[in-house]
A and B are shown apart, each in its own frame.
Chain A
Amino acid sequence: GAVVSQHPSWVICKSGTSVKIECRSLDFQATTMFWYRQFPKQSLMLMATSNEGSKATYEQGVEKDKFLINHASLTLSTLTVTSAHPEDSSFYICSGLAEFWEQYFGPGTRLTVT
């Protein structure tokens, strides 16, 4: 199957700073990418849908000003957590959408805010 990479795989940042997470589709073009958040022992919670060249669509309850998403090319989407706080600590996962709603997932990024 297709490969999606995420960078970094884990990051620790101080409260109040911003951190950027990159999601790349390595061998396919992803017009649409999704960003998920996963809490321990829980399912994936969709945060936003990222479409190349247009604004992201955020799910209800997700602060668009805190979680900035940019999808500047068909192979790269970025999630920036601005003014991070300890409650933003989580596992963030991206995916690239292929045909028939099949997704290829990145390995995830563990964010810890101290």
Chain B
Amino acid sequence: AQSVTQPDIHITVSEGASLELRCNYSYGATPYLFWYVQSPGQGLQLLLKYFSGDTLVQGIKGFEAEFKRSQSSFNLRKPSVHWSDAAEYFCAVASYDKVIFGPGTSLSVIP
């Protein structure tokens, strides 16, 4: 069965530090992969997506993610975190007829 795991429930980083949020998926075919961010009081916003081609994808707000088929991973990165990046981050994979979300990683940013 398709699944998505995000090993880190909560991460705290200092402002200006680099960030990596981990995501692993289980899917038989080439996946469509997504990262979404959910800020308090706001709807989920798409940060970036991978369908095919270049395995390093660039997104909005300075985020990027790298698809590694051999590791079934799609980790999200940002070189320098801003206080406004504090939010909940969800990795997701498109299955045959739906999108499956990971459990989420809560990001806190220390000023």
Contact = CB atoms under 8 A, between A and B. Distances in A.
Interface residues of B, number: 22
Nearest to B98: A46
Nearest to A3: B43
B43 A101 contact: no
Nearest to A108: B43
Contact of B49 (A42, A95, A100, A107): A100
B71 interface: no
Given A102-B46, A105-B44, A108-B43, A43 B104 contact: yes
Contact of B42 (A4, A100, A101, A107): A107
B74 interface: no
Interface of B: 32, 34, 36, 41-46, 49, 51, 90, 94, 97-104, 106
Interface of A: 1, 4, 34, 41-44, 46, 49, 93, 95, 100-108
